[in-house]
Amino acid sequence: MSEYAHSESLVSPQWVADHLANPSVRVAEVIWGDSDNWGTAAYSSGHIPGAVAWDFATDLQDPERNDIADQARLEALLGRSGITPDTTVVVYSGLSNLLATFAFWLLKVYGHRDVRLLDGDRQKWLTDGRPLSGATPTIAATVYQAQPCNERLRARRAEVLHAVGQPGYLLVDARSAEMFSGVDPAGTARGGHIPGAVNLAARWGTSPDGSFDTWRVPTVGQDGTFKSAAELRALVENLGVTPDKAIITYCVRGGLSTHAWFVLTQLLGYPDVREYDRSWVEWGNQEDTPIEQ
């Protein structure tokens, strides 16, 4: 992992196993819904010992405001998770770590210093045959004080509109090729992509019965761990994604695009990358936003 720009942001399953008893390390599994692979059922069936559960839809976002968690909501989450500003937070999830990279990005937005991602996601821990726990940990709460929202890591719709067609800017669409082309509108009023965007295309993974299983992202290998820095650099530069540009990542609702944001900022060290977290759920449901197909 030393080949990556910020190798400290990525930890192996062995590193996590070696630090399970360390009181200055808190592990969080990010869940969504009741899926057996990435939801409450998965966490209940067995998680990394001592890991707390964070809900993507209600802990990391505010459903009433239809926005990311505000500072107070995040402070409450970290406080009941027993986290202080000095805690090393390790996040992981199913679904190719897409929920976990969103959590990583959100903690960075609010200034948490030491956040790390488990390489290979939940499945890698399971495949390695490492121990699991079905118990919800008992944790002493803390009072957490977050930093104000760092808007330099986030793009709003107005900023995306400004970037369209402007030299020096590049939009990276991390959805599938079908969504990018408009064949699949991803449950929104209009399908397509933001004009000028390039497609770092993910693929649907299916179970033997044909149902959706997970997203297959082009930045990881067969075992779910990240490709080498050289491979990642070649992958994105082939799309014209270079570090001299101001880059905005987007997808459907923030999972695939924060995964791309993590690759560009933490693994490749790109200096100017913002995440459009409202993504296509917002853009594709507006009447006045430009769309290409």
Q: Which residues are catalytic, by number? A: 251
d(C-alpha 235, C-alpha 225), whole Å: 16
d(CA 101, CA 117): 7
- The amino acid present at 136, given as its one-letter code, is T
Which of 102, 149, 148 is closest to 277 using CA atoms? 102
* Residue reference for tokens 């490492």: 130
Q: How far is CA 211 from CA 169, 205, 206, in A?
A: 37, 8, 5
The residues, any chain, with a CB within 8 Å of residue 240's CB and separated by 6 or more, are: 170, 198
Nearest-angstrom CA–CA distance, 174 and 193: 10
- In angstroms, the CA 105 to CA 254 distance is 10
* SS3 (DSSP) at 124: helix
Surface-to-core class of residue 209, CB atoms within 10 Å of its CB (0-12 exposed, 13-18 middle, 19+ buried): exposed
Residue 132 vs residues 19, 57, 129, 182, 208: alpha-carbon distances, Å: 15, 24, 9, 41, 26
- In degrees, rounded to 5, the angle at the alpha carbon of residue 213 between the alpha carbons of residues 210 and 214 is 140
Residue whose C-alpha is closest to residue 262's, from 209, 220, 203: 220
